[in-house]
Amino acid sequence: MRKGQIAVIGAGKWGQALHFALSSKQECFISSRTKRDIKNFVDLDFALSCEYLVIAIPAQEIRTWLKENFVFKNQKILVASKGIEASSGEFLNNIYADFVPDENIGFISGPSFAAEVIKALPCALVLNSKSKELYDEFSKFFPDFIKTYYSKDIIGAEIAGAYKNVLAIASGICEGLNLGKNAQASLIARGLVEMQRFGKHFGAKKATFLGLSGAGDLFLTANSTMSRNYRVGLGLAQGKSLELILEELKEVAEGVKTATAIEKLSNKYTIYTPIAKEVKLILDGKNPKDSLKDLIKN
Ligand SMILES: NC(=O)c1ccc[n+]([C@@H]2O[C@H](COP(=O)([O-])OP(=O)(O)OC[C@H]3O[C@@H](n4cnc5c(N)ncnc54)[C@H](O)[C@@H]3O)[C@@H](O)[C@H]2O)c1
Ligand SMILES: O=P(O)(O)OC[C@H](O)CO
């Protein structure tokens, strides 16, 4: 094992931004399934032999990626993805649990557009782990422009980070339909209540939804065209097909698949999730204006 060394796996927008940030205090490696012209780019075997790993591949790909590539050799891992597996409705921490013990894993949450992190603009992140030791070790790698906080509420952080993507789609729809700022603020506020209610069912803490991981990331993502999920919503409101929107986006918008996962889990456990349900229906072809009427009525 490469003791003390750190590598990011996944060289998309977030992986590259984290690689930039984590390179500010020491050498940080990066790996991806396709070779990239990035400083310190290494092959996957090299990356996997580092003691510290930050995994930034999309949520829907994680199970397969772990099965095909990962062998646990006591590495310490930070998960940077934000989503819920759509095919199973499984949370990422449960998927990772088959491969990595609790004390070796943490999850990043909080408001963090890659495009700003890669410019070294200040931000605050939460590193969520059962192990404070793991937090202490990883937080030392972060640059001065990122303030890190510790939390043990993994499920809360995970749900907040995934759910806000679905709400960002809803907010983009609201903007695209020109419904006004009152409507948008109402939607975001009710969305926060909705994701907290959903989280409560799975044991998440209320405080997580009121802090960086919940309100912080929701307010960011649901208010800006910098968000891919928000832009999906804008496109839907403009009458574009989901297929075309995703083709134009060329990057992952986790809210699309996470809406399916939330629908599955809400149906299974009878959790009231009206906004996420309408987003799912719109993604499946419902007219957004009809959704709005139904949302106000119910
Ligand atoms: N971009 C941001 O601002 C941001 C911030 C915080 C969290 N996130 C989260 O980070 C995750 C990644 O987002 P991103 O912005 O880097 O997306 P992206 O679309 O820019 O890149 C995704 C990367 O994952 C790689 N990938 C896809 N399938 C893979 C597979 N099967 N095996 C290995 N690699 C695979 C792609 O090659 C690509 O490099 C998402 O869950 C996203 O929600 C993104
Ligand atoms: O561009 P989005 O919508 O994937 O959001 C990116 C980050 O999750 C913001 O914290």
Q: How far apart are alpha carbons 229 and 175 in whole angstroms?
A: 13
- Quote the pLDDT of residue 279: 97
Q: Is 35 a catalytic residue?
A: no
* pLDDT over 80 at 234, yes or no: yes
- pTM of structure: 0.97
- The span from the CA of 230 to the CA of 233, in Å, is 5
Return the pLDDT at 135.
98
The residue ranking higher by pLDDT, 105 or 292, is 105
Q: What is the pLDDT of residue 292?
A: 84
What are the tens digits of pLDDT across the range 20-43? 999 999 999 999 999 999 999 999
Q: Pick the ligand that lies closest to the CA of residue 230.
A: 2
Q: At a CB cut-off of 8 Å and minimum separation 6, what does 269 contact?
A: 201
CA of 231 to the centre of ligand 2 (A): 11
Cα–chain center distance at 114: 12
Q: What is the mean pLDDT of residues 112-117?
A: 98
Q: 8 CB under 6 A from ligand 2?
A: no
pLDDT digit string, tens, across residues 44-65 = 999 999 999 999 999 999 999 9
Q: What is the pLDDT of residue 293?
A: 82
CA distance 221 to 167: 9
What integer pLDDT is reported at residue 298 of this predicted model?
73
Mean pLDDT of the 254-282 span: 98
The whole-number average pLDDT for the span 165-171 is 97
